[in-house]
Structure 1
Amino acid sequence: MNSLNAPPTGWHAALTLGFARHDTRTVLATRRHHGPLVVQKSLHPEGPGICHAIVVHPPGGIAGGDALAIDIDVGNEAHALLTTPGATKWYKSQGRFGAQDITLTVHDGAKLDWLPLENIVFDHADVRQRITVRLGEGATVIGWDATLLGRQAAGEQWTQGDWRSNFELRDANDRLLWAEQAMLGAQDAQRSDGTGGAGLAGFPVFATLWAVGRACTRELAESLAEGLPFNDALRAGITCLPDNVLVLRVLGREVEAVRQLLISHWLTLRPIVHGVPGELPRIWAT
């Protein structure tokens, strides 16, 4: 967590998972954890070739001073799907920021579906998040990151705090394929009508889905763009970057609508990018 300059106090937790291909089966071969960050039993609901794992943070959220590190390694030709049982909550920071550092390494010919449920940023939360994706030769990945500013269910807006995130996508030679930074300050971005939105046209929910692989072409992006919404409740756009990288961006009024848009596009992209049918993780139905 040094790259995030993590605070010295609070919950510190780390989880390392390694997936390996054994004949026709993908298995969870490595599992190490420190502190309150664990994974439930690995599952194979789609058959032996795809291993599902659910990342669990028992405290239920990240407070000021907490520092979490998640390191996922998908070995050659393996296929892993990871999700969470609920949203990641970022609590009031009490003068200290919370931090999460996620590293996803997908080796030659491997596949990864990274599908955590959304972040919920509480009022007065100070957040630092970093996601680093490293891809081997012929690897494919579909992942997303979604954030809700303020607790909608409690009628709370995000009036004070900061959200800072860094994302990097690199190939097997450590060549940078795509990078971006986001720095959102609630107090500086409040609108005169009180709706907030942190410079996001007043929308409290924002998300990015990324897909990488040989099938991620400009033609695919153009075909998907035709059906994307652009209205007062939900807006989305898709871009094809160099090196076969698709980026879908979403703004929304309600987190459920954004989540369903991400899921529908993952289901569409999975057979195209990974070559396997889309099937919803069972945990989402509970």
Structure 2
Amino acid sequence: MNSSATTALFTPSWHAELELAYAHAGGATRPILRRHQGPLRVQKHLYAEGPDVCQHIIVHPPGGIAGGDRLAIHARVDTGAWAQLTSPGAAKWYRANGPASQRLELQVAPGATLEWLPQETIVFSAAQAELTTCIELQGDARVCYWDIIALGRPASGERFAQGYLQAHLDIRRDGRPLWHERQRIEGDDGLLESPVGLDGHPVFATLLITGQAEDDLLERCRALQHPVRGDLTQLPGLLLARCLASEALHARAWLIDLWHLLRPTLLGRPAVPPRIWNT
């Protein structure tokens, strides 16, 4: 066996799972399940907004995702509970000789709310990243979901010249699709520079939140002043916001300001940013 084959055969990889569940009991949202396998954890639950909203910070101790790594996160929010999940920093997908994957499954019961608000995902050139997200809503369940994707590392002069990003996102309510999306971006693809693609922007971001926004709220969102190219679309029961940006910080600032405007009306609580976002 040659040395390259030996290296490929014995390259270490991380397989990690995290399972979470939340219930409303005793006047508060409480974590009722916190099970992990491998290097995936949540820190101590926090109540920055009082007992109704339980906040967890998801931590991946290795600090990056490489070829062969497989992450799986399952979160369930039971009736009347409100969970907010975020992360302490960017998720980094490293260059690799094989694919790495993350599967996210979120289940939200009637009368429950889930916010999935991680920091950005950086996909290095030559990474092979496969992301799958499935969100199941029941009855009048509410969700606010965002993601921020940075391709390559422009500050270091690295373009997304090799590898690929593959992303699947499905949102269903009572088994019926609200949102169904498939993306595949190849390194050095013409769409990276095309005006009908990313138009030379290495960062793109998406926010999806349940509910119907009135025209005046949409106009206030569109009036936000940020160095991004973004807009919003109201779909039946679901609001979509998207932007292109030159830096992840610009996209994240735009999403946070949108969240400040949208959360009180569509989710029914004033926006209180997690302290971890300021560290």
**TM-score exceeds 0.5:** yes
Q: What does 1:233-272 align with in structure 2 at a 5 Å threshold?
A: 233-242=227-236, 244-272=237-265
Q: Deviations over 1:66-122 (max 9, x none)?
A: 01000110110100111000011000012x011000011111110111100010011
Number of equivalent positions: 269
1:148 and 2:150 correspond: yes
Q: Is this contact kept in 2: 1:89–1:119, CA < 8 A?
A: yes
1:88 and 2:91 correspond: yes
Q: Which residues of structure 2 form unaligned runs of 5+?
A: 1-10
Q: What does 1:1-286 align with in structure 2 at a 5 Å threshold?
A: 10-94=13-97, 96-172=98-174, 174-189=175-190, 199-213=197-211, 216-217=212-213, 219=215, 222-224=218-220, 226-227=222-223, 233-242=227-236, 244-286=237-279
Q: 1:277 to 1:190 in 2, by over 3 A?
A: closer
Over aligned residue pairs, what C-alpha RMSD do you find? 2.1
Q: Is this contact kept in 2: 1:210–1:248, CA < 8 A?
A: yes
SS at match of 1:21: strand
Q: Which residues of structure 1 form unaligned runs of 5+?
A: 1-7
Q: Is this contact kept in 1: 2:167–2:182, CA < 8 A?
A: yes
Q: 1:91 to 1:197 in 2, by over 3 A?
A: farther
SS at match of 2:44: coil
Amino acid at match of 2:62: P
Q: Is this contact kept in 2: 1:39–1:55, CA < 8 A?
A: yes
Q: Deviations over 1:169-194 (max 9, x none)?
A: 0012x111110111111133377xxx
SS at match of 2:16: strand
Q: Deviations over 1:136-183 (max 9, x none)?
A: 2111111101100012342322111101100000012x1111101111
CA distance in 2, matches of 1:74, 1:103: 11
